[in-house]
Amino acid sequence: MTSGTNEQISATLVYPYLNHAVRMYEQAYASRGDVDAGMRFGCGYPVGPLAALDEIGLDVVRDALAARYAQTGDPLHRPAELLERLVGEGRTGKASGRGFYTYADGEVVADDETPTADDAPALRHEITRVGVVGTGTMAGGIVEVFAKAGYDVVYVGRSQDKLDAVVTQITRNQDRAIEKGRSDAATKDAILGRLTGATEREALGDVDLVVEAIAEDLDVKTELYRDLDRITKPGAILATTTSSLPITQLGAATKRPEAVIGMHFFNPAPVMKLVEVVTTDQTSPEVDETVRALCASVGKVAVSCGDRSGFIVNALLFPYLNDAVLLAEAGEHQLVEIDAAIKAQVGLPMGPFELLDVVGTDVSLAIQKELHAEFGEPGLKPAATLESLVAQGRLGRKTGAGFHEYA
């Protein structure tokens, strides 16, 4: 496969992704830094999309998108208005000294959008005791994150066996850390000593913040939030790890919508650095700031965004993955060729089909359907091949077959 082919494949898939990121920033949905941090820490990308645009050249990407839009007529390929404006102003990226960032001698320098020490969030609510609802892998990971950071954690599950499984999961992770010289027995004992398991939600009565990590079912979560509103003390913050459901509706189920917020951890929670902090129109600024400060206190990178489908990471990632499927359907390139081109040309840790199989084709299809419903763009309609694989039960690595086959 030639370098020219690699460049063609990467431009076809990556330039629309960059365009989506510009629109997200243009709409003030998320800041410049949060858009880039989301993709770096949520996906392991070497650079964020806006920084990548500065490297490539805004004019180069604008021209390529304009040509693509002339061919396809897809509104998603039309260069974002902000992209057009910046190019018109001569802000074409690193080479010109200004793009989305400001440069001197080829290095990023502070400008009026650069956060200062005064912008660092502070805890506006006292947080000493944290509750977690759920006992799955994500819930257990969140329990471990807070316990490692020194917080007492009350976690609630449906049975003692499920509670014990959380302790087993955390013990295994700590034993692995000890074997690698990253921890010691005293630290492990201290972490386990901060855990209190319970099978009744009433055990959450005195926590300062609850993070729920239960099934992605709006009815189930809504019932939980009604119960948490009854059980938890006044002033307690209610957070959800949902990646897709409307947080506003969860807040509406309570008498404290100002205290309801999203804390979207990424899996595995003890390893992944990113947390998307999602506010609704009702979330109070003090709750928002407290949660962002709390994320920093447990060693996470918090990015802020509003309550709409996909938040930052999924809204940028999954249209790109769907575009990869559409490119393969066009018949000009094989799956392995597309995967290899993206890794070689862009430096991403996995090709799109490898990533789709890790995420799960069923999960990917569900997210893409949500994005299509939210934004109504024809170009976001799930690719036929993705629909077909799910119907066949080829769900990715977890079933041994997805876009690729696994032994």
Active site residues: 243, 264, 276, 314
DSSP 382: P
Distance in angstroms (rounded) separating the CA atoms of residues 28 and 281: 14
Distances in whole angstroms, Cα of residue 161 to Cα of each of 137, 202, 204, 216, 373: 14, 19, 19, 22, 39
Which residues on adjacent β-strands are paired with residue 133?
Answer: 156, 212
Report the distance separating Cα 378 and Cα 75, nearest Å: 9
| Peptide bond between residue 268 and the one before it cis (omega within 30 degrees of 0) | yes
Contact present, 231 and 205 (Cβ < 8 Å): yes
In one-letter notation, the amino acid at residue 241 is T
Whole-angstrom CA distances from 88 to 70, 329, 373 are 20, 36, 34
**C-alpha dihedral, 82 to 86 to 87 to 89, nearest 10°:** 140
Tokens at 242, concatenated: 């949902």
Candidates 296, 308, 294, 314; CA nearest to 210 is: 294
Residues 160, 140: Cα–Cα separation, whole Å = 14
What distance in Å separates the CA atoms of residue 401 and residue 350, rounded to the nearest whole number? 17
Q: Residue 205: which residues within 8 A CB-CB, separation 6 or more?
A: 231, 232, 233
Tokens (6 digits) for 375: 């934004």
Q: Are 133 and 214 in contact (CB under 8 A)?
A: yes
The number of beta carbons lying within 10 Å of the beta carbon of residue 80 is 21
